Chains A and B, each alone.
Chain A
């Protein structure tokens, strides 16, 4: 029991992983074996990177002790910027570069305002949610520009690749980014600072860590990942709607929390965020296949989020009651 407790404290994503396996099992049965079929997996894994990338960034930021509610809007703004520039005759790569620059700037502003004025990032990024969405609509000029798909290296982002074309190229991007961020967090001094900053800010400051810069860096990474994810979705759809990504910010927070991230910072893992995002996509997809009224989807995600927080809070309380002997 004690070991189980300790394990779940150190690996907060384990519970979510267990749940994921169980749910896959259930949906496999209720969909009469269709859930794990090639066609369904191909569709599911094709969508997954878009939300999971956002969840990776949000998880990192939450571990650093901050929130970002603007990711859904940045998700729309980046590809809209790119599309508008391409319609104006820009090449694909320069347009992408400018789009990502916009994301980085938004992340910087989020972090700078939050730290400079000591306001909760919940508020700063809530403001940015509206501002970025508004900018998206304004630059779209009212109707979405169509992308000239021949100017886009499709095979680099959305084409199906891999064994029997199961995966999209976007999945590989997602895996690379997720592994890279997880490595950054777990194996580098920067990751140590992120955890210390989110885990206990006064100690991090007293040990001389540049906590402001660490936080701003996390805000920027989070925005960049959200923008990149939005770009992938738009490349898949062929046209940037100004409304994409609405509500995504909350799903990403839910994914991070379901994956074991604490709302108070310090605790959580990138793998957890990925599992949380997968869980949400699996529930969405599995409920449709099982012919459950799809309006229950949000209910399920909400219930799961609350359950995860309650379970983690309980675990941590139990964990705190344990002391190591000298």
Chain B
């Protein structure tokens, strides 16, 4: 029984298609993501990885196909829908507003309010600062102050804050699109550590990277895409970096 619930996919996509004015970017992708697993999504440039996750995170909509979250068919029309379903996405560049403080960034679009009228209200700044300090500490990131500007943080620290934010809002699925791009070795290790810790927090992770070593270091399962189709889907123990390389 216990096992059966664990095996029910948290997200399944069936037969997803996406066209960009002539380019057939997704050609009938069907995949299941199980709770609590870390999935590595790899593939050459233009394979359709970002297209797939942009559909899951509400930045784009699929032209055809079905998405189920925890067994229910859903429509993800915008990023807010995805967040409300517990799907949080972390991009290399797009997650944070550099000129705003950490505390402000943590709550963009989901600000705690003291009182509100028609959806507009007064920020509860004390709560924002308190909870961001807590959330950041929970992912083992040590920052001096929630008032520091995100623009002052290093790339790895920024990804840490983005992950802390996703954890704070109790995401069930965390998608990371090339979070280690342009990061130093030390920072990369840190981000991979974050991905590893997702499992302990019972969060499903979907990790996109061009670096096979990074993917193999923290994922349970590898999915490879080429030209808009899934070409490989195996547990990490049953495949190897060489096999994936040969396929792509």
Chain A residues proximal to chain B, CB less than 8 Å: 9-10, 187-193, 195-196, 199-200, 202-209, 266-267, 319-320, 322-326
Contact flag A204-B97 (CB < 8 Å), given A189-B121, A192-B108, A324-B144: yes
CA distance A322 to B153 in the complex (A): 9
A207 with B109: CB separation less than 8 A: yes
Chain B residues proximal to chain A, CB less than 8 Å: 57-59, 78-80, 83, 89, 91, 93-100, 104, 107-111, 113, 116, 120-123, 125, 141-144, 148-149, 151-154, 157
Q: B185 to nearest A CB, angstroms? A: 16
- The contact sample of 20 A-B pairs, CB cut-off 8 A, is A9-B149, A187-B122, A189-B120, A191-B123, A192-B100, A192-B107, A192-B111, A195-B97, A200-B94, A200-B96, A200-B98, A203-B95, A207-B83, A208-B78, A266-B97, A323-B152, A323-B153, A323-B154, A324-B148, A326-B143
B153 with A203: CB separation less than 8 A: no
Residue picked from A188, A196, A200, A325, most chain B C-beta under 10 Å? A200
Q: A315 to nearest B CB, angstroms? A: 13
* Partner pick for A199 among B98, B111, B152, CB 8 A cutoff: B98
Residues of B within 8 A of A204 (CB): 97, 108-109
Contact flag A188-B97 (CB < 8 Å), given A208-B78, A209-B109: no
Contact flag A203-B148 (CB < 8 Å), given A188-B121, A192-B108: no
Q: Is the interface of A mostly helix, strand, loop or mixed?
A: helix
Q: Is the interface of B mostly helix, strand, loop or mixed?
A: loop
Residues of B within 8 A of A10 (CB): 149
B100 with A208: CB separation less than 8 A: no
Q: A201 to nearest B CB, angstroms? A: 9
CA distance A202 to B111 in the complex (A): 18
Report the nearest B residue to A205, measured CB to CB.
B79
Q: B168 to nearest A CB, angstroms? A: 13
A188 with B123: CB separation less than 8 A: yes
List 9 A-B pairs, minimum CB-CB distance, nearest first. Answer: A208-B80, A208-B79, A189-B111, A199-B97, A207-B109, A200-B97, A202-B94, A266-B99, A207-B108
